[in-house]
Structure 1
Amino acid sequence: MAPSIDERGSSGIKTRILIVSDTHGAGPSPTPTLPNHKRTPFHTPLPKVDVLLHCGDMTMVGHLEEYQNTLDWLSEIDAELKLVIAGNHDISLDEEYWHRKGHKMQRLKEPNPDLPRLAKEMLNGEEARKIGVRYLEEGVHEFVLKSGAKLRVYASPYQPEFCDWAFPYFRHEDRFNPPEHVPPTASPIAENPIPDFPAIDVLMTHGPPFGRLDRTHRHESVGCEHLLRAARRCRPRLHAFGHIHEGWGVDRVVWRGEPGGPVDGEWQNHVEKAEAIPVDANKMFEEKGVYVDVSSDAGDRELVFGKETLMVNASVMTVRYQPLQGPWVVDLDLDRA
């Protein structure tokens, strides 16, 4: 049986976070079995939590009705705060991209030039706020929960250019580090760089860092080296992302060196070790998610802030766009506001 949300940790405030990504227009199934007779852990009702994170790709191609469908199923989630970012498929939220190519991707004969504005207004509107949804654009955001916990989030929808979809940057461009942390082989383009440790509790990006839950079905690592370097410098308690459906899973990462130390440019040198969290498929199906406790209640499994980061690829869809991968439910301690 899943533990209760009301159990609070002793050193800090225990906070339960539900993480999903890449739902692509689909909400939780009303039944545990899909029309193709496959069992899905992504079915109603999803677990009660303090905070929900949706790490992008709410839609297939950024239509307004897809965003509305996302708001409809998010309204059914029992969570005080629901944080949402865009992904590369949410093309109408990237205004520059949409005006360049979005209307072609949507196959519209008469594109509506107001679509990017309407999409953002929907996600920032009264209906969204009433159900606890906060749409986050790139940068730092802070929240205080009813429990008294302080939640500090860095959000970004950007990822390395991927088949010319939305929110792209080139691989030689570093979007996440200030110039003094950019190697000579890269070009600094950060408008809102990720801050240093200990400024952030949760790093919330659409794309993964390089070498961490980023392998495609062709066995290629396609994450971002610059994001990995920034994550090591930032050392959040939790780094949640999606984008690479095949990368679904959780790694408990131990960083090399101490916070504030030098961060060289070689991706192999950032991580001291990483432990993959095992998954019991039957238990995931029964509990509608995979539970990971790294709070003070976990004893010697408590996460060491500044030394470790729990990295979560929460893509619900498989590579064949079937919702067969469960949400992740993470218990961790946050500081009191």
Structure 2
Amino acid sequence: MASAIPTRFMIISDTLGFRFENRRKAGNKVAGNFKLPLPNCDVLLHCGNLTRLGQPKEVEKCLRMLGKINAELKLVIAGNHERVLDKEWWSRHNENTDDPDSPASLEYKRAVDMMTGPLAKEAGVTYLTEGLNTFTLNNGAQFRIYSSPYSPRFFDSAFAYGQGEDRFNPANAVAKEFRCIAENPMPNFPALDIVMTHGPPRFILDRKSHGNVGCESLMRAVSRARPLLHCFGHVEEAYGARWVRWEEDLNTIGQTAIEIVSNTINAYPQVTSSPMTFGKDTLMVNAAIGNGSGHQPTNAPWLVDLDLTKAPSV
């Protein structure tokens, strides 16, 4: 990659209301590597499920926790737990949300203001919804990231879409048995460097006790985009990382676009080494800090270096 600038990312997900103070109080009852001091990084990525119940007070506590992590840029999305941040879910479950002065409307506004206002700014957090954004760092590196808090519907979860609905592909790339509902479809390679979603793609770090629960349409979209990194969480039991090499034919999408998949071991607190060639390789990371058993934050964050391009104006 011309003018490549090594840039360090820390990736976490599914912290579920955890605060570093909780670990100190619990002592040895809460084991694991998600504790202060954390290594420095250029960019922190949080892939959603900030809270347990999605209440504004939990959102506030999460922002204060994130404020203790040292990173130049902190990018955060919601997950299926963040009910109060999902306007559609909140409207279905509360009365008078059309009235901006109703208690329900004010609670929704309070939560969104937390994620986008002074408290988030103080914590250094940038809240991303669904779509494509470009960021330039102090080291001169620039990256393009596609983000989405949505995952397949699980009971009455927030930011959910139904079986047979494709949220990530334009109509001409949707599998024949799916219906396109994409409002912000993922662009094709080489339009982006990173994909951050709450849920995993199908058959990559998505296995629960009853089977694979990842999204087939998301896999199709990521195979079209071929980013350097795709990070997510949601399925705590499937924490881990996979290095994926794609077939050369850019017109091949979905599972058949994968040539090789290999396991990658977390080297935390050192950097996980996984050299990637843009357009050929993608590092897939399920960064759920919660361990799937009691949701205790025992899993380690991931530290990954990506070679990014230099911003045109730098």
TM norm. shorter chain > 0.5: yes
Q: How does 1:1-337 map to 2 (within 5 A)?
A: 12-28=4-20, 34-35=26-27, 37-101=29-93, 112-218=104-210, 220-259=211-250, 261-263=251-253, 267-279=254-266, 284=268, 287=269, 291-294=271-274, 302-320=275-293, 321-337=295-311
Please state how far the C-alpha of 1:208 moved relative to its aligned partner.
0.2
Q: Give the counterpart letter for 1:94 in structure 2.
A: D
**Contact (CA 8 Å) 2:272, 2:302: kept in 1 or not?**
yes
Aligned residue for 2:291, secondary structure, equals coil
TM-score for both structures, normalised by structure 1: 0.85
Q: Give the counterpart letter for 1:222 in structure 2.
A: V
CA distance in 2: counterparts of 1:249 and 1:34, whole angstroms? 26
Please state how far the C-alpha of 1:47 moved relative to its aligned partner.
1.2
> What RMSD, in angstroms, separates the aligned Cα atoms of the two structures?
2.1
**Contact (CA 8 Å) 1:32, 1:41: kept in 2 or not?**
no
Superposed CA offset, 1:104-146 (max 9, x none): xxxxxx9633222111111100231243210001000111000
Q: Give the counterpart letter for 1:305 in structure 2.
A: F
Q: Give the counterpart letter for 2:61 in structure 1.
A: N
**Contact (CA 8 Å) 2:14, 2:50: kept in 1 or not?**
yes
Aligned residue for 1:198, secondary structure, equals coil
TM-score for both structures, normalised by structure 2: 0.91
Unaligned 5+ residue runs, structure 1?
1-8, 104-109, 295-301
CA distance in 2: counterparts of 1:65 and 1:214, whole angstroms? 30
Superposed CA offset, 1:34-88 (max 9, x none): 4453421111111100000000000111111111111111111110000000000
Superposed CA offset, 1:201-242 (max 9, x none): 110000000000000133x11000000010000001000100
**Contact (CA 8 Å) 2:54, 2:85: kept in 1 or not?**
yes
- Calculate percent identity across the aligned residue pairs: 44
Query: Where in structure 1 do 4 or more consecutive aligned residues deviate above 6 Å?
Result: none
Superposed CA offset, 1:275-312 (max 9, x none): 111246xxx4xx3xx63133xxxxxxx21110110000
CA distance in 2: counterparts of 1:128 and 1:164, whole angstroms? 28
Unaligned 5+ residue runs, structure 2?
96-101
Please state how far the C-alpha of 1:99 moved relative to its aligned partner.
2.1
Aligned length: 304
